[in-house]
Amino acid sequence: MGNQLNKFILLMWKNWTLLKRRPIHTAFEIIYPVLICFILVAIRNIITAEQRDQQDYVPFDVTDSWYYWYSEACHENDSLIGYSPKSPFLEDVVTKACNASRAPAILSYNNKAELDAAVDNHTSFCLVIQFNDELSGAENNSNLPLNLDITIRLPSERYKSKSEWFTNLLYPMFQTPGPRDPTNPYGGDPDYFNRGFLFLQESITLGLMGTSATDPPHIKMQRFPYPRWLNDLFYANEMATMVTLMLMMSFMYNYINTIRAITTEKEKQLKESMKIMGLPGWLHWVAWFLRSFIILLLAIILIVIVVKVNVQKAPVFTHSDGTVLFIFFVLFACSTITFTFLISVFFTKANTAAAVGSLIFFLTYLPYSLQQQQSDELSAGAVLGSSLLANSGLSFGLSLILKFEAIEEGIQWDNLWNTTSPDENVTVGAILLMFLLDTFLYLAIALYIEAVFPGDFGVPQPWYFPVSRDYWCSKPPTLDHEDMSGDKAEFFERFTENLPIGIQIKSLSKTFGANRAVKKLNLDMYEGHITVLLGHNGAGKTTTMSMITGMFPPSKGTAVVNGYDIRTSIQNVRDSMGLCLQHNVLFDGLTVAEHLYFFGKLKGLNNEEVKEEIDNYIKLLELEDKRNAKSSTLSGGMKRKLSVGMALCGKSKIVMLDEPTAGMDPSARRAIWNLLQKQKEGRTILLTTHFMDEADLLGDRIAIMTAGELQCCGSSFFLKRNLKTSRIC
């Protein structure tokens, strides 16, 4: 556990160092969300909150609304009134209610089904009244049930105002301070008075009660007075949409940059290189999470300060508890970070990942955008299901917080599980729990996909690996010696020295489509020796090395490295491995000394050992003048030297060098040759090359490959003698 902690601290050091090397970019990651919030502050100060006096209302006569219904809904000559069921008593009620002296034609139907069919087939109805079907044939009101269901249906298309009544809601979807439609004595929308509904309701009710039409009770209505209130339009529904969108956008820059940075390490093979040299994959994600979290944490602290401080007129969130807002944004940030992990596992190109990630960022806002106008009508399952997409969860949560602001209460710890309206069924507390669920769900999916579909590099796990015994309890390898020679025994030298086997390749094969890149390769490599794989480009050297390091899964066969099978214990294989790939895999922002420090510590060296190795390898590699130079400023030859040093440092027991001297001048090549001769003791070194002189000089054993097959293997002297040539090939 201590070793893993040291590796985690090392990764955080690497991430912090790279952030320091780009101070403007790092500062902008923190400041960008705050700049967006300052725009909200500016808008908040433009919108003035006005103190309103107590509002009183005059009474009005319900029957006065008859004119509006008749003049707007029933003014056409072909207008019809329909009701059900048929009954002499109900006919009298409807006729009196609709003022028979002026009413258009009145039609009766046997039941609700017939009435609905008639309405579907005709557009001339200006009023439909639906009573209980049990009242069919009723002569009077003597046997009426105590509870009556009456449905009054009016045609919205016949009215000038097209606003809906939202009869499914008890309260407005977005409540604001003050009375609804403050200056309207009738209450405003839904417009029951101006559409004649109140008149019809009163007339039908009085008719059912048997009240005399010549002496009806005089009914008046009056709105309740409303006390002094603060009229703040900043919390109106339209503004709430803008606030949620802008706060979501404030996290976008960090989101895109995290995706780009993670995918860049994958694109440059930095991630796989670190894993090959002993970094557990889960630690990579933990370090990235903490790196991104620290950046967002600083930004969130500033965001909460900005939206809570009264700059001029009022804060953006006037009444809400700042600590609740802080936790709300922190949990959202956690889910956003793991969502970037999930996006990044699908891509190997940083620019593509950033572009597609930006599109997905907006798509995850879409469920909220499409449903916001009906948010009070949505089931809890629909809202929480949409909140599985973090941006929609953020928007739903912010809209709830703004509703609390609108009623001058704000979100507090004691109302975290409350709603502002009985129509709502989701609380801010539930959204916070969804953020936690999103965080772990995104991370679990990302880890699973990366394990099963590792992309261009890595050994894929079977889809069922989480429940596989082999995954959790790897089998011990068997070190059986395989005969390399087959029917070409004269070209394979038998090894007689008593040296431990560092790498044993057993029937290793790799097929890409119809092309067999490596064919049943059997080869033993010994500790204290440099084994050279010699062959032209396309011979299978790099593919063989990639399978040994776990970058590619073998199609058949396996290899045992330092006692561990690459198929079942690749992490144990990598713990003792140093790697120099065919191309330079370096962090542009780290110096020469920092690269050696990073990979030395990654392999478990203590501080004194690392310092000693840094000084030693910088001297051996003749890079003293470039000790503190960033790798991006080095020449191609110097980068190759540094790559070799990174493979050797940390006392690597297994060293894999893929054409390490490619691109070097002759003097630099000789320096690397001398270094490898000095460093081979106690190590198993596998080196690939297509330079014959390099193989002749360095190889204790030389294996020649052609078209993926091993042609011969032995010492330089053995091969020259048996091949009857003064040159190896």
pLDDT tens for each residue of 421-457: 777 789 999 999 999 999 999 999 999 998 888 876 6
Question: Residue 290: what pLDDT?
Answer: 96
Domain match, 280 and 398 both = yes
- Which H/E stretch holds residue 657? strand 654-658
d(CA 185, CA 204): 24
Of the three residues 179, 198, 221, the one that is the final residue of a domain is: 221
Question: Residue 28: what pLDDT?
Answer: 94
Nearest to 382, CA basis, from 415, 411, 425, 342: 425
Query: How many other CB atoms sit within 10 Å of the CB of residue 16?
Result: 13
**For residue 562, how many C-alpha atoms fall within 13 Å in the half-sphere facing its CB?**
23
Residue 137 has pLDDT above 90, yes or no: no
Residue 102 has pLDDT above 90, yes or no: no
AA letter at 416: L
How much is the average pLDDT of 21-35? 94
Residue 395 has pLDDT above 90, yes or no: yes
- Could you report the per-residue pLDDT of 164-179, keeping only the tens digit for each? 676 766 666 666 667 7
Averaged confidence pLDDT in the chain: 86
d(CA 451, CA 10): 24
Which residue segment(s) compose the domain that 95 sits in?
60-221
Q: Which residue has the higher pLDDT, 248 or 172?
A: 248
Domain match, 75 and 139 both = yes
Q: Determine, yes or no, domain membership for 631.
A: no
Q: Which of 31-40, 260-269, 454-463, 622-631 has the lowest mean pLDDT?
A: 454-463
Residue given tokens 């032995």 in the structure block: 714
Asked whether the beta carbons of 335 and 289 are under 8 A apart, the reply is: no
Q: Which residue has the higher pLDDT, 457 or 138?
A: 138
Residue 691 has pLDDT above 50, yes or no: yes
Q: Which of 364-378, 468-482, 599-613 has the lowest mean pLDDT?
A: 468-482
- DSSP letters along 471-501, please? HHSPPPP--PPPPS-TT-GGGBPPP-S---E
Of the three residues 166, 189, 221, the one that is the final residue of a domain is: 221
Q: Which of 440-444, 659-663, 711-715 has the highest mean pLDDT?
A: 440-444
d(CA 563, CA 574): 11
d(CA 478, CA 472): 19
Give me the torsion for CA of 629, 631, 636, 641, rounded to 10°. Answer: 80
Question: Residue 479: what pLDDT?
Answer: 45
Q: What letter does residue 704 receive in the DSSP assignment?
A: E
Residue 214 has pLDDT above 60, yes or no: no
Question: Residue 240: what pLDDT?
Answer: 78
Cα–chain center distance at 33:
18
Q: Which residue has the higher pLDDT, 191 or 254?
A: 254
Residue 160 has pLDDT above 70, yes or no: no
Question: Residue 242: what pLDDT?
Answer: 86
Residues in the chain: 729
d(CA 690, CA 537): 7
Domain match, 277 and 352 both = yes
Q: Determine, yes or no, domain membership for 228.
A: no
Three-class SS of 429-455:
HHHHHHHHHHHHHHHHHHHHHHHHCCC
Q: How many domains does the chain have?
A: 2
Query: How many other CB atoms sit within 10 Å of the CB of residue 244?
Result: 24
d(CA 95, CA 600): 96
d(CA 101, CA 95): 9
AA letter at 309: V
Nearest to 564, CA basis, from 460, 653, 646, 664: 653
Domain match, 174 and 312 both = no
d(CA 271, CA 341): 14
Residue given tokens 């048996």 in the structure block: 722
Percent of the chain with pLDDT over 90: 44
Which tokens sit at 674? 């001398």
Burial of 145: CB neighbours in 10 Å, binned 0-12, 13-18, 19+: exposed
Domain match, 120 and 188 both = yes
Domain match, 242 and 212 both = no
Q: Determine, yes or no, domain membership for 303.
A: yes
Q: Which of 40-54, 196-210, 366-380 has the lowest mean pLDDT?
A: 366-380
- Could you report the per-residue pLDDT of 279-289, keeping only the tens digit for each? 888 889 999 99
d(CA 97, CA 551): 84
How much is the average pLDDT of 121-138? 84
Q: Which residue has the higher pLDDT, 71 or 605?
A: 605
State the pLDDT confidence band at 211, using cuts at 50, 70 and 90: low
Residue 216 has pLDDT above 80, yes or no: no
Which tokens sit at 624? 């003293």
d(CA 217, CA 210): 12
Q: Which residue has the higher pLDDT, 332 or 452?
A: 332
Domain match, 213 and 297 both = no
Question: Residue 477: what pLDDT?
Answer: 47
Question: Residue 50: what pLDDT?
Answer: 74
Which tokens sit at 50? 């006005």
d(CA 710, CA 483): 12
How much is the average pLDDT of 174-185? 76
Q: Determine, yes or no, domain membership for 597.
A: no
Asked whether the beta carbons of 86 and 213 are under 8 A apart, the reply is: no
Residue given tokens 């394979």 in the structure block: 492
State the pLDDT confidence band at 503, using cuts at 50, 70 and 90: very high
Question: Residue 374: what pLDDT?
Answer: 66
Domain match, 255 and 360 both = yes
Residue 265 has pLDDT above 70, yes or no: yes
How much is the average pLDDT of 592-619? 93
State the pLDDT confidence band at 299, using cuts at 50, 70 and 90: very high
Domain match, 377 and 416 both = yes
Domain match, 274 and 339 both = yes
Q: Which residue has the higher pLDDT, 639 or 467?
A: 639
Nearest to 657, CA basis, from 510, 557, 533: 533
Q: Determine, yes or no, domain membership for 671.
A: no
Q: Determine, yes or no, domain membership for 370.
A: yes
Nearest to 184, CA basis, from 238, 226, 239, 229: 226
Domain match, 290 and 402 both = yes
Which tokens sit at 370? 């499409």
State the pLDDT confidence band at 703, using cuts at 50, 70 and 90: very high
Question: Residue 101: what pLDDT?
Answer: 41
Give me the torsion for CA of 572, 573, 576, 577, rounded to 10°. Answer: -140
Q: Which residue has the higher pLDDT, 320 or 470?
A: 320
Instruction: Tell me if residue 671 falls in helix, strand or coil.
Output: helix
Residue 120 has pLDDT above 60, yes or no: yes
Of the three residues 197, 221, 245, the one that is the final residue of a domain is: 221
> In which order are the strands placed within the sheet that holds 105-108?
105-108, 80-84, 125-130, 151-153
What is the bridge-based pairing of β-strands 80-84 and 577-580? unpaired
Q: Determine, yes or no, domain membership for 710.
A: no
d(CA 647, CA 626): 18
Q: Which residue has the higher pLDDT, 508 or 181?
A: 508
d(CA 561, CA 577): 9
Domain match, 170 and 238 both = no
Q: Determine, yes or no, domain membership for 284.
A: yes
How much is the average pLDDT of 605-624? 93
Beta bridge partners of 710: 705
Question: Residue 100: what pLDDT?
Answer: 45
